[in-house]
Amino acid sequence: MIADTQNFKPFNPDPIAVLSQSGDWIAPFALTLDDETLKTIYKHMLAARLLDERFIKLQRSGKMSFVAPHSGHEAPQVAAAHAISKGTDWLFPYYRDYAMTLALGQSVLEILAQTTGSRLDTAKARQMPMHPGSKTLNIFTGASAIASHIPPAVGTAISMKIRETGQAVLTSFGDGATSEGDFHAAINYAGAKGAPIVFLCENNRLAISVDFNKQTGSETIAIKAKAYGMPGYLVDGMDVLACYYVLKECVENARAGLGPSLVEAQVMRFGAHSSADDDTVYRSKEELELMRQRDPILRMRRFLEKQGLWSDKAEEKFIKETQLAFQTALDTLAEAEKVPLEWMFDDVYAELLPHLAQQKKEFLG
């Protein structure tokens, strides 16, 4: 146990929170994170928000073809990155999880190389934007098909259990994914086999534009865990420290052989579903303004300010440094040569098959 968190009861009908909206500590246990960790968590959230804003600018200027905004989702994503063991545990994210990979340690250059399809992209520019992945950080490459990454996550966790590696897996997804068969088949199998995995649902109540109540008759996503034989936790997804404490405990329980768990973080998506979506069709400006009053970054900043750990000067300095890092990465990418089209033949097989070799020869003329 990482703290006196016995009050984190599964299937609690009220979302778990440890910070009030005004930034006060309201948990029934003492804060155990040191000052530097608290500031780092906030910096990761703020950097992720700035990155999201830069994504949108890049897409509108024609340098990115697609964006799935993550503003409003920063709390559970950053918390997840801090809850798992970097480079040891495995992360199976979905396409809105760049706050998670950034906080885990993926460089800005690598992220922007992937999203812009640069020659410097470790995936060789053969993946859609917003599909993070990292071999060194054990981040399974994101997938376009909703919930299709959840079964491989469970398979990986079961492999860890069989081999007794002491590792854990965390997989994240939106509420829309819980309406897919892949989700149900995977989580059912994880429960049956006691897989060391944490299922994190970032529930913004909008599967693109379909309201949560039209997706399921269930009161919450967390309550579904009962049917699969595992604990389910409902968390205030706008409270980064609540997300951290719950996820940390679930990850440690998984690693200790106590099996899987399902965490539902109730978040608010501030942007459209993607750059191909017009969210004004299904929600009003007034609704969005109310959402932004619960901004997870503002809540964490208020907490830090009350602890004497943050100030306007620190904020200004960090934003300036972060924007400079973004621009430096973009300048590096601008200097890189274009992606060779013949890369499409690479890495399909360990050895290029004769018919592909012939196609490559004809393509190159």
SS3 92: strand
Q: What DSSP character marks residue 229?
A: T
* Domain assignment present for 100: yes
Per-residue pLDDT tens for 233-252? 999 999 999 999 999 999 99
CATH number, residue 306: 3.40.50.970
Q: 141 near 92, Cβ under 8 Å?
A: no
SS3 207: strand
Domain count of the chain?
1
* Domain assignment present for 230: yes
* Domain assignment present for 340: yes
Instruction: Give the residue numbers marked as catalytic.
Output: 269, 273, 282
**Separation of alpha carbons 294 and 6, rounded Å:** 27
Per-residue pLDDT tens for 82-117? 999 999 999 999 999 999 999 999 999 999 999 999
State what percent of residues in the chain have pLDDT above 70. 98
What is the pTM for the complete model shown?
0.94
| Residue-number span of the structural domain to which 315 is assigned | 35-364
* Domain assignment present for 13: no
* Domain assignment present for 217: yes
* Domain assignment present for 110: yes
* Domain assignment present for 21: no
* Domain assignment present for 233: yes
How much is the mean pLDDT over the chain? 94
Beta strands, E only, 73-189:
90-92, 169-174
